[in-house]
Amino acid sequence: MKFSDLGLSDDILRAVTDAGYDTPTPIQSQAIPYVLMNRDLLGCAQTGTGKTASFTLPMIEILAHGRSRARMPRSLILEPTRELAAQVSEQFETYGKYHKLSKALLIGGVSFTEQNAALDRGVDVLIATPGRLLDHAERGKVLLRDVKVLVIDEADRMLDMGFMPDIEKIVRLLPHIRQTLFFSATMPPEIRRLSNKFLSNPKEVSVSPPATAAETISQALVTVSAKDKRRTLRNIIKSESVQNALIFCNRKRDVGILHRSLSRHGFMAGALHGDMDQYSRTETLGQFKAGKFNILVCSDVAARGLDIASMSHVFNFDVPTHADDYIHRIGRTGRAGKQGRAITIATSEDSKYLDMITKLLGYPIPAMENSAADQDDTTADASDKIAVAKPEARRGGGSRGAQSTGGIKSSNSGSEHKRRRKPSPSKPADFDDGSSSMSFGEEGHVPAFLLRKP
Ligand code: AMP
């Protein structure tokens, strides 16, 4: 199948060729013809499958004719995180380069003024995170009754992050007659129920069985005591040929602690989580993508959809409390047919979560051979103790303390071990919409780790 067989116009085909793609991916060849027929679509597809172009390309085609009116967008794409929203926006730029479609990005953490100005000019494509969109809608700055195409992307993620009540509110503001495209990496019963509610006689397309790990990812599990986790991680990083890696923590404050610990031990690391202001997040991601540092400690905000070419490793410094997150985290490596490595560090307290992952995968994560945990890094964590203690010393110091650690907000007490005894699996690690305000930090801040010399 070729792109030219899908019913797309010459201008879009030209933009696709310019982007360097010659063959549609399976989700694209299955979905695009139906979207062009104005059918509702239920797509079961993970990020990394070309899912974004499967809706952006036909949307450009559909929206090519017609004009937008002030504050009345003609289409709406809902994304769970600012990063995903920004990536979708970039794809509209790429594929829509021969069209004059206007778009606006409504995400938390950036000023309302520019967003209002864009809405006033009229937008063909509105890309938004749910909270910020509702903020605008409640202020009367955006009217959704002219929306012809609605995309709900990463629906299972939206559900996990607690966004579904917002989504339901938003859908009530839309006209009944519209086209709805609904994408989810997994189809648990609640997602099925919502898709039945939002979609009308949808065409279902599925490109890989729900929640499977790519075969290109070599997985491994190391079990250690809680106090040995950081040392184990360092040893493994040293023993594996890590080109670049994402290291996932379950909690934002642990992202900060681990980031500081790795930096103290000489690793070139950055940090990314949902409490960082938008400027720092964009900067950090840009620097990571450009190879300014090769280790990014992150929370699940980075797990979905981030498209970073050739990620050699993913580490789970904490076992995720939702099995789906395991699939999404490790899916950041082994993309587009490349080999990847995903290593999970567990403690004896994680058995419940590991059981759920085993169930989802259909097999247990294989134990790591020759565990590097036992190897040479004897720099026991005296310096880590300082790293843990430091945020406490800064308590009450406002955002400055947070800024100097790469935008980490942390004022918690208690040892890592103690914290681990109180997991809160029902509360998402990153409630990411950040709809109303920046949590801390100031625009223009350069995170401390970027000032280190490579
Ligand atoms: P997505 O699943 O939308 O996050 O896309 C994953 C990556 O695949 C992105 O870098 C896209 O630019 C890329 N991509 C999308 N469609 C194609 C295609 N037909 N051929 C090659 N790469 C593609």
Mean of all residue pLDDT scores within the chain = 81
Which pLDDT score is estimated for 24? 93
| Domain positions in the chain | 3-206, 217-384, 390-454
Q: Does ligand 1 have an atom closer than 6 angstroms to the CB of 125?
A: no
Which pLDDT score is estimated for 279? 79
Q: Does ligand 1 have an atom closer than 6 angstroms to the CB of 29?
A: no
Which pLDDT score is estimated for 119? 96
Cα–Cα distance, 286 to 87 (Å, whole number): 12
Q: Does ligand 1 have an atom closer than 6 angstroms to the CB of 43?
A: no
Which pLDDT score is estimated for 241? 87
305 pLDDT more than 70: no
Which pLDDT score is estimated for 187? 84
Q: What is the average pLDDT across 86-99?
A: 94
Q: What is the average pLDDT across 415-438?
A: 34
- List Cβ<8 Å contacts ≥24 apart for 19-24: 19/94, 19/95, 21/53, 24/50
CA of 54 to the centre of ligand 1 (A): 9
414 pLDDT more than 90: no
Cα–Cα distance, 298 to 296 (Å, whole number): 6
CA of 187 to the centre of ligand 1 (A): 22
CA of 119 to the centre of ligand 1 (A): 29
Per-residue confidence band for 32, with pLDDT thresholds at 50, 70 and 90:
very high
Cα–Cα distance, 183 to 181 (Å, whole number): 7
Which pLDDT score is estimated for 430? 40
Q: What is the average pLDDT across 121-145?
A: 96
Which pLDDT score is estimated for 384? 44
45 CA closest ligand 1 atom index: 2
Which pLDDT score is estimated for 289? 87
Q: Does ligand 1 have an atom closer than 6 angstroms to the CB of 48?
A: yes
The share of the chain scoring above pLDDT 90, in percent, equals 56
pLDDT digit string, tens, across residues 349-360: 999 999 999 988
Q: Are 1 and 24 in contact (CB under 8 A)?
A: yes
Record: fold of 217-384 = Rossmann fold (3.40.50)
Which pLDDT score is estimated for 46? 78
* Same fold for the pair 3-206 and 217-384: yes
The continuous run of DSSP H or E covering 160 comes out as helix 155-160
pLDDT digit string, tens, across residues 212-241: 677 788 999 999 999 999 999 999 999 998
370 pLDDT more than 50: yes
Orientation of helix 112-121 relative to helix 130-138, angle to 10°: 70
pLDDT digit string, tens, across residues 140-166: 999 999 999 999 999 988 987 889 999
Shortest-distance Cα residue to atom 20 of ligand 1: 21
The answer, as to whether pTM is greater than 0.75, is no
- CA nearest to 96, candidates 6, 4, 11: 11
Which pLDDT score is estimated for 227? 94
Q: Are 425 and 322 in contact (CB under 8 A)?
A: yes
Shortest-distance Cα residue to atom 22 of ligand 1: 21
Cα–Cα distance, 160 to 186 (Å, whole number): 11
Shortest-distance Cα residue to atom 12 of ligand 1: 50
Q: Which of 4, 5, 183, 307 to mutate to test the pocket of ligand 1 (most atoms within 8 A of CB)?
A: 307
**Which of the two residues, 417 and 89, has the higher pLDDT score?**
89
Task: Kindly report the CATH number that applies to the domain delimited by 3-206.
Answer: 3.40.50.300
Shortest-distance Cα residue to atom 23 of ligand 1: 50
Q: Which of 12, 21, 184 to mutate to test the pocket of ligand 1 (most atoms within 8 A of CB)?
A: 21
Instruction: Establish how many alpha carbons lie within 13 A of residue 141's alpha carbon, considering only the half-sphere containing its beta carbon.
Output: 19
